[in-house]
């Protein structure tokens, strides 16, 4: 089984990246407890591919698409920009063919400066993933940017609440 984390922050190795990696690793821990299959994890930081995406570099896009195709689970993360996900993430998703995420279990994650945007993950990111065919079996995760010191706990609570969902999907 493969978990692929897609980070849509234009800044490389951002806080969004760190939160997404923590989330995926904790989800990976659940999978490892409930299955005998090997569970691997990789991260696609879209900031590393921004120029290629803007230039519609077919080779890069096909490579990223192949990595997603090989995945069973996705963690899709974005900072909150103007109450929604970033343009970089939208650009990448627009370059994928229709139904590119069919059969993938997707866990949306957004990071924001204020709690007033906490519904952005449900109202914007989750529908985008569903439009491409992903199954989002649980509520999305919204993490406050200022709660760096509490992020592991917040993510852990969210992951623990989703353990029954993940276990039922195995």
- Give the mean pLDDT of 1-28: 96
Q: Which pLDDT band holds residue 115 (cuts at 50, 70, 90)?
A: confident
DSSP strand pairing (73-79 vs 105-112): parallel
pTM over 0.85: yes
What does the pLDDT look like over 8-17, one tens digit per residue?
Answer: 999 999 999 9
- Give the mean pLDDT of 157-164: 88
Count CB atoms within 10 A of the CB of residue 90: 16
Q: Taking Cα atoms as reference points, which of 5, 99, 88, 97 lies closest to residue 49?
A: 88
What is the distance in angstroms between the CA of the first residue and the CA of the last residue of the chain? 11
Decide if 5 contacts 77 (C-beta within 8 A): yes
Q: Is 102 buried (19+), middle (13-18) or exposed (0-12) by CB count in 10 A? A: exposed
| Residues 58, 45: Cα–Cα separation, whole Å | 17
């Amino acid at each position: 089984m493969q978990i692929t984390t897609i980070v849509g922050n234009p800044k490389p190795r951002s806080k969004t990246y760190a939160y997404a990696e923590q989330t995926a690793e904790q989800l990976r821990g659940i999978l490892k407890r409930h299955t005998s299959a090997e569970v691997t994890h990789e991260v696609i930081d879209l900031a590393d591919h921004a120029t290629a995406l803007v230039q519609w570099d077919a080779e890069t896009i096909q490579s990223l698409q192949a990595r997603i195709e090989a995945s069973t689970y996705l963690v899709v993360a974005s900072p909150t920009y103007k109450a929604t996900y970033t343009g970089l993430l939208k650009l990448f998703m627009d370059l994928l063919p229709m139904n590119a995420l069919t059969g993938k279990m997707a866990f949306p994650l957004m990071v924001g400066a204020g709690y007033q945007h906490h519904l952005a993950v449900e109202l914007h990111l989750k529908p985008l993933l569903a439009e491409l065919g992903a199954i989002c079996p649980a509520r999305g995760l919204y993490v406050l940017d200022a709660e760096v010191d509490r992020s592991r706990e917040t993510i852990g609570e969210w992951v623990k609440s989703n353990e029954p969902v993940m276990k039922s999907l195995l």
